[in-house]
Structure 1
Amino acid sequence: MTSPVRFGILGCAAIARRRVLPAMAADPGIEIAAIASRSPATAADTAARFGGRPVTGYEAVLDDPAVEAVYVPLPLALHAEWVEAALLTGRHVLAEKPLTRDPERTRALLALAERRAVVLRENVMFVHHPQHARVRRLVEEGAVGRLRAFHASFTIPAPAPGDIRYDAALCGGSLWDVGLYPVRAAVHLLGDDLRLVGAHLSTPAGGGVDIGGAALLRRGDGVSAQLTFGMDHAYRGAYELWGSEGRITVDRAFTPPADHSPRIVLDDASGTREIRLPAHDQVAATLADFCASVRRRRAGLPDDADHRELLAQARLLAAVHRAGRAGGDLTRPRRNAP
């Protein structure tokens, strides 16, 4: 019998406690070996709920010989440092999104993982949901005719005051937190041949991080992608693909609960048709994919991941950030690091 993948957890963020750790604890192919926090009480409380040895400080996880893989749900500002530290110790890494804010740093970390013969993944879970593969097949089969445009939005209500997403020092802001989803959806469904046409980031009058924004992308053949995101909005997580002969709509596209039965709506000249799919746990599917790659590496096999989507996403997010800070003008010189 294959031994479980032994995880060390670097941090007890809400996404870890709410979604990832419950899925890990329920998976017989995963063992939570250690859970770290800067707070001993937080580490102890989280370990009591999900298992593993509570430890204080992230270095202790990387010093633990029982840890084979590391999950990094730390704030974005800390991703590159701790992902690199884990890779250098020979650990496989699943890191929260985005991996970094700098496309070249992302590329360098992927290259380091390859040199160390370990797995590195960014925890973008919705791409593991089969509803999007079904949408791609519909488009390829000509269900909407010639594809013309893609519209996607992901907006959430304002986080509570003091939330780290309002902290510029920790790389907060709506683009990195929720804007990633429509950007990745565009890449996932349209391919990596996308360029930024223009972007806008909305920042409160008193300064701080962006709380919303929009971007316009264009594929080489002229297909456009209009993206909206924000964290001071009514909830919306959906996309549409418009073609010459029809339209496909997917609601609850990015964070569906495990028991949600997806509904793809196809509108064309003959009317409206609904395609219902079985419920699917995209969190469990993401972990299963990661662990399967770890087991390939155990067997001395190469990691078969294609990182083109991740790299295209990183490039586009940085471009949106740069253009948004420049007021949407892509001709202004770049100032400061992304």
Structure 2
Amino acid sequence: MSERTPAPRPVRLGLLGCADIARRRTLPTILRESSAELVVIAARERAKARMFADEFGGEAVKGYQALLDRLDVDAVYIPLPAGLHHKWIVRALYAGKHVLVEKPLTTRYADTVEVVELARSRGLTLMENLTFLRHGLHAAVQRLVDAGEIGELRMVDGAFGFPPLDPRDIRYRPDLGGGALLDVGVYPLSAARLFLGSDLEVVAATLKEDPERGVDVAGNALLCTPDGRTAQIAFGFEHSYRCEYTLWGSQGRIFVDRAYTPPPTWRPVIRLERQHERRELILPPEDQFANTLRAFVRAVGASERPEQSADTAAICVQARLVDQIRDRARLLRDHELSRGHR
């Protein structure tokens, strides 16, 4: 009788920071996936870690470094505020841990390149948890474009915005990497890059700043490829809800709603319009958080990481474009706008 090959040991994960996104989406996903095991939860206060451990399992520890010093942790998930990502990615990589980190990977292009190179040099997986990119919806859209359903793609138009947040929300804190560009602008920006390629450049941009908080609360950007295809993106914290993108081609257009944050039970709809035709393609539901976790586990277990190389190259392009939006933005402040209307 042939012996069965034993199942691979689950990747032993540690949670570095008890954030809301971890509680709502990522930790429930980990509990459902047999390929990963939550073993340690770290917070600045042990009571907060204990609260999460009571709900999701694992051991509660005080302090992030205490988690990184443990030998029973293969990888860490970092949902800390964006302004803390660079510091704790570096520390985790030097501790020999693979890293899954919430978007954005870091707040600056130079920091992103640094941690990507550090992960590569140490043979470790570094992945950004921008989960919408791993939903099959967008691959289905790409297949329609490749099949010529809208002719030649000319333009991508994307938007992600929602009403104002709780005034105490960390996304209003500049010291923690807050602001609409890093929190929601990265979604339509990433969609533009996904469909138009990595040679996009920012032509013009605006950022509206809240002078009391010192962070951007809204913005727009115009981007262009060398061959003249364009993207327009809009984002912010002071809008009615929009979460969409449109691909406009020479013979038609494709529209996708709920593009970036579909619930796992959502059946995505692709609307295709041509001159004398309108049709809808309804896709099966998918859990993009589960897809990302599985991709991360595969990368951790792989001896070579070609998928990760493609991912990190795309992350670096994204970080470059974010820096370009900041550099080229006309900065609009609420008090200046109100004075102009008097």
**TM value normalised by structure 2:** 0.92
Query: For 1:308 and 1:55, how far apart are their aligned partners in 2?
Result: 34
- The answer to whether residue 307 in structure 2 is matched with residue 304 in structure 1 is yes
**Counterparts in 2 of 1:59-70, with a 5 A limit?**
59-70=65-76
**Aligned residue number for residue 112 of structure 2:** 106
The 3 A distance-change label for structure 1 pair 29 and 191 is: same
**Aligned residue number for residue 294 of structure 1:** 300
**Counterparts in 2 of 1:59-98, with a 5 A limit?**
59-98=65-104
**Aligned residue number for residue 191 of structure 1:** 197
Query: For 1:164 and 1:36, how far apart are their aligned partners in 2?
Result: 19
How far has the Cα of 1:189 moved from its partner? 1.4
**Counterparts in 2 of 1:1-338, with a 5 A limit?**
1-206=7-212, 208-296=214-302, 300-305=303-308, 306=310, 307-324=312-329
Any idea what SS the aligned residue of 1:105 has? helix
How far has the Cα of 1:294 moved from its partner? 0.6
Unaligned runs of 5+ in 2: 1-6, 333-342
Structure 1 residues 234-286: Cα deviation after superposition (integer angstroms, max 9, x where no partner): 11100000011101000000000000001000000222100111000000000
Query: For 2:142 and 2:34, how far apart are their aligned partners in 1?
Result: 32
| 8 A Cα contact 1:192 1:308, kept in partner | no
How far has the Cα of 1:303 moved from its partner? 4.8
Structure 1 residues 203-233: Cα deviation after superposition (integer angstroms, max 9, x where no partner): 1354521111000000111111000000121
Report the number of matched residues.
325
How far has the Cα of 1:76 moved from its partner? 1.0
**Aligned residue number for residue 333 of structure 1:** none
Any idea what SS the aligned residue of 1:142 has? coil
Any idea what SS the aligned residue of 2:21 has? helix
Any idea what SS the aligned residue of 1:152 has? strand
Unaligned runs of 5+ in 1: 328-338
The 3 A distance-change label for structure 1 pair 58 and 206 is: closer
Measured on the aligned residues, the alpha-carbon RMSD in Å equals 1.4
Query: For 2:212 and 2:44, how far apart are their aligned partners in 1?
Result: 31
**TM value normalised by structure 1:** 0.94
| 8 A Cα contact 1:164 1:170, kept in partner | yes
| 8 A Cα contact 1:262 1:279, kept in partner | yes
| 8 A Cα contact 2:38 2:57, kept in partner | yes
Any idea what SS the aligned residue of 1:304 has? helix
| 8 A Cα contact 1:119 1:303, kept in partner | no
Percent pairwise identity = 45
Query: For 2:284 and 2:93, how far apart are their aligned partners in 1?
Result: 37
